[in-house]
Structure 1
C-alpha cells in the first residue's frame, strides 16, 4: 500500500511539473514596442510588452532573458506594470543563469488568468556597449561609434507584432543594417513592424553613426562617509576619471583647440550634483586646489558643482581629483534612544550619463557603535569591517566597507545603516581632553615646587 502511495505521489509531482512548464509556454506577446536610446554613451533599452495568456490555467510569472552577446554589459534592470502613458507598480524580479544565458524571472502582481492580458514595462541599461569606430581620431575629427544588436526582441515567447525604434544623438548615420521593413527619419531608425516572430529569433544589426557626447567613466571611486554625533557628516570622494571614446591620434594643440571649433568629442567640464545642505565644498587634485570650479544653488534646491579639469579630456586621457563637503547630521541621521539609522545615497551624481566601473564606499561610524546592520537597495558586496583611528580614539572607529561594480545613475538610491550607540560614550573625548590638561597643569605645579639646586643658597 505504501509503495502505491509513493508511485502516485511521484506521478502527481511529474504531472504538476509538466503542467507548470506548459503554462509558461502558453504566454503570447501580442504586441512589443522596443526603444533603444543611443543618444549618450549608455545604451538604454525599454520594452513595452502586452502579454496574453493563451493557456487553460493562470500564470504568475514570465521569463525575460538578456541577449547573450550583451549580458556582461548589463548594469541595471527594472520591470513594472504599464498602464497607458503612466507606468506604475514595480514588479519583483529574480535573476539566474539558464544554459549560460542571464534570465530574469518577473513575478506579476496578480495572476494572469486564461484569456487575460497585462502590459509590462521592462527597462535595461548597458555600459561600454558602444565602440568607437575608428578607434583613433585627430583633434579636428568627429567621433563615430558602432552599436551591435538584434533587430528582434530576444524572448522565449512568440511575438505577434513588434516594432523597434532606435534613437541616435545625431542624424549623421554612416550606415545601418537594413532588415525589411526598416527606415530612417532624421535621428531615428525604425525596424518593423514584424509579424509572428518566432521565439529567440536573431538578426544582427550594426548602426554606425556620429556620437560626440561625453564618454566619461569613473575607473575607481572611493567614497568616505564619516559620521560624527557632534552634528556633522563629512563626505569625501576620490575619483579616477577617464575618457572612453576614440583615442586622440597625434599631438594636442591648445592653440588650435582655442582658435577653432575642434575637439568636439573632448570634455572641457562636467557638472556634479551635491546634496542641498552641502557646505565647505572643496575640489583639488594632486597639485592642489582647482580654482576654476563653479558652485551654485539650483532652483530645485540641489547644489551644482561645475568641475573643470586643468586640461580638456580627449579619448584615452584621464584625470584624478578629490571632492569633499560637509552635511548636517540631522538631515541623514535619525535615532530612537540609542538606536540610530543613517540614510544616504550609496553613490552620488558625478556627471550626466555616468558610468562607475568600480566603487568602494567606506562608512566610518563613531567609536563605540555596535550591532551594525546594512540594508542596500540593490545587490552589493559587503567587505569585512575594519577600524579607523583618529584623534583621542582608544578602541578605534568601526568602518563598514561596501563594494560595487558597473553602476549608473539609476543606482543613485539610498541605503540604510542601523547601529547602536550610547550617548555616554560621547563624553569620552571631552573627558580625555580635561584629563590631559589636568595632568599637564599638575606636572607644571609639581615641577615649580621642586628644588633641583645642588646646594642651598
Structure 2
C-alpha cells in the first residue's frame, strides 16, 4: 500500500524551492494537530514513513501553508517527499524548504505543504505525508558482529513523540515489517503493544507540545542484506546511424548489514548450504531492463563475469563472492536497445529522448548517481527535464571513435539520495540534430580517406631514385 501511494504521482523530491513571498521564516501558531498518526515501514533497507494528519486552523485568519517538521538527520538524507488529501485522493503541492523555519527561537528543518485553498478558522483538513530516507547512523546492526548462522537484529534510533512545529492533541506511532520488536527505553506512562504478526503500536499519547524532545530506541528483526550503492555511473550512448542506444553502468556497492564474527570460511558457507538460506549475505542482483535488450555483459575489476542470466527483461547477476556486512563489490554491466524505443522526433531536427532514471535492483539506496548522455557529434542540447532534483549539470564535448571535429555533445547530471523506485521515473533530454549533421560525419571521414589516398598516390609518383 505504501509504495503505490508514495509513487502514484511521484512528487519525488520536489525541487527545493520556496513558495514565494507567502512563506515566513517563523512558523506562526495557527495550526493544531488534532490527530497525528505516524507509521514507519521497516520492511526495506531504508525506512518509509507515512504520517496521517488531521489539522485545525486555530488562528484568526485563513491559512494555506503548513510546515511539516523533519529532524536534520532525516532532512539531509531524504529521497522522497509527497503529500496528498486522502479523502479526495489528490496530491497537493509539497517541497523541502531551503531555509530553516524558526519556532520558539529554534531553527527547524521542514517540508512545506501548500493547500489548494485556505482553511478558514476553526476548520479542519485531513492530510497524508509520505517520505523515504536513508537512516544512516540511526539504523545499525545490533550487535555489530554476528555469526554466519545468526539472525540479524537492527537498532533504530528515532523520536517517540511527534517532531512537529504545532501542538498535538492525539498522537500514535506504529512500526510495520518485522515479527519481533524490543523497545529498549520504554516509558512506563506510554502503552506499547504488538498487533498482528508484524505491527508494533505505541500510544496514544495526549497533548504534546510542539518540538518536545524525545527519543526511542527500537530493536527489531531484519534478517536481510542492507544494500547500498555508494556510487553509480550510468553512461548512455546514442547512435542515429545504427539506431541504437547503449547503456553502461558502473556500480560501487556495499552491504551495511552486520559484519561476520570470526571471518569468512568458504567451506563453512558451502557446507551449510547458505546459498539456499535467507540471511544478511547478498548473493546477487536482479535488474529490470528495457524490453528487447541485447548485447548484455557483466564485468568487474578482474575481468568478464559469466555468472549472469537474462530472462525477458530481467537480468540476474551473481558476483564472484557473496557480500557480507561491510564488504564492497565493484562491477560494470551493459546492454543495447534500439534507439527508436526511446526517441520521439516531433520535427526534422528536434528530438526528445526519454529513458528510465535507473535500471537497478530492488530494495536498494543510492548515495550518489551520475548520469552521462553522449549525443551524436553535431547535436545541440536544448533542455534536460527530471522528476528528481538535480544536484549538478555539466555540458561538455567528448571525442569518441572517428569523431573528427569537436566531438560528441555530452551532458552530465548528478543526483543524491535516490531509492530503487526511481526506476519508475523517466528523464527527458531534448536536442537538435539535423540531416546535415547526420551526413556530415561520413562525408568528413570519406574526405579524410580520399585525401590520404590522394597523398599516397602523389607520393608514389615522386621518383626518389638516384639512378639517371
What's the TM-score once normalised by structure 2's chain length? 0.85
Matches within 5 A, 1:357-396: 357-393=367-403, 394-396=405-407
CA separation in 2, counterparts of 1:134 and 1:119?
Answer: 40
Indicate whether 1:56 and 2:56 are aligned.
no
CA separation in 2, counterparts of 1:150 and 1:454?
Answer: 95
SS at match of 2:268: helix
Check whether the contact 1:23–1:57 (CA below 8 A) recurs between aligned residues.
no
The residue that corresponds to 1:161 in the other structure is: 170
Q: 2:450 aligns with which of 412, 419, 438?
A: 438
Kindly state the Cα deviation for residue 372 of structure 1 after the two structures are TM-superposed: 3.2
Tell which structure's C-alpha radius of gyration is larger: 1
Q: 1:276 aligns with which of 272, 278, 291?
A: 291
Kindly state the Cα deviation for residue 251 of structure 1 after the two structures are TM-superposed: 2.4
Check whether the contact 2:92–2:115 (CA below 8 A) recurs between aligned residues.
no
CA separation in 2, counterparts of 1:351 and 1:282?
Answer: 16
Indicate whether 1:402 and 2:413 are aligned.
yes
The residue that corresponds to 2:4 in the other structure is: none
Kindly state the Cα deviation for residue 410 of structure 1 after the two structures are TM-superposed: 4.2
Kindly state the Cα deviation for residue 190 of structure 1 after the two structures are TM-superposed: 0.3
Shift of the 319–53 alpha-carbon distance from structure 1 to 2, 3 Å rule, reads: same
The residue that corresponds to 1:4 in the other structure is: none
- CA displacement, residues 43-86 of structure 1 (integer Å, 9 cap, x when unaligned): 111101112223332111110010245433323221122127xx
Shift of the 50–428 alpha-carbon distance from structure 1 to 2, 3 Å rule, reads: same
Check whether the contact 2:247–2:336 (CA below 8 A) recurs between aligned residues.
yes
Check whether the contact 1:24–1:62 (CA below 8 A) recurs between aligned residues.
no
Matches within 5 A, 1:180-199: 180-185=190-195, 186-199=197-210
Shift of the 124–334 alpha-carbon distance from structure 1 to 2, 3 Å rule, reads: same
The residue that corresponds to 2:158 in the other structure is: 149
The residue that corresponds to 1:290 in the other structure is: 305
SS at match of 1:83: coil
Check whether the contact 2:69–2:110 (CA below 8 A) recurs between aligned residues.
yes
The residue that corresponds to 2:127 in the other structure is: 120
Comparing 54-63 and 356-365, the one that deviates more: 54-63
- CA displacement, residues 236-283 of structure 1 (integer Å, 9 cap, x when unaligned): 100111111112222211222122255821111121111224222211
CA separation in 1, counterparts of 2:304 and 2:26?
Answer: 65
SS at match of 1:164: strand
Indicate whether 1:83 and 2:87 are aligned.
yes
CA separation in 1, counterparts of 2:359 and 2:92?
Answer: 23
Q: 2:266 aligns with which of 254, 263, 267?
A: 254
Check whether the contact 1:23–1:58 (CA below 8 A) recurs between aligned residues.
no
Indicate whether 1:97 and 2:109 are aligned.
no
The residue that corresponds to 1:8 in the other structure is: none
Q: 1:31 aligns with which of 31, 35, 49?
A: 35
Kindly state the Cα deviation for residue 28 of structure 1 after the two structures are TM-superposed: 2.1
What's the TM-score once normalised by structure 1's chain length? 0.86
- CA displacement, residues 283-312 of structure 1 (integer Å, 9 cap, x when unaligned): 111222222112112xxxxx1111110100
Check whether the contact 1:23–1:59 (CA below 8 A) recurs between aligned residues.
no
How many residue pairs align between the two structures?
Answer: 429
Indicate whether 1:132 and 2:141 are aligned.
yes
Kindly state the Cα deviation for residue 114 of structure 1 after the two structures are TM-superposed: 2.8
Kindly state the Cα deviation for residue 207 of structure 1 after the two structures are TM-superposed: 0.8
CA separation in 2, counterparts of 1:324 and 1:22?
Answer: 50
Shift of the 206–82 alpha-carbon distance from structure 1 to 2, 3 Å rule, reads: same
Comparing 237-246 and 397-406, the one that deviates more: 397-406
SS at match of 2:109: strand
Comparing 331-340 and 387-396, the one that deviates more: 331-340
- CA displacement, residues 412-449 of structure 1 (integer Å, 9 cap, x when unaligned): 32222222222201112211333244345545655666
The residue that corresponds to 1:11 in the other structure is: none
SS at match of 1:425: helix
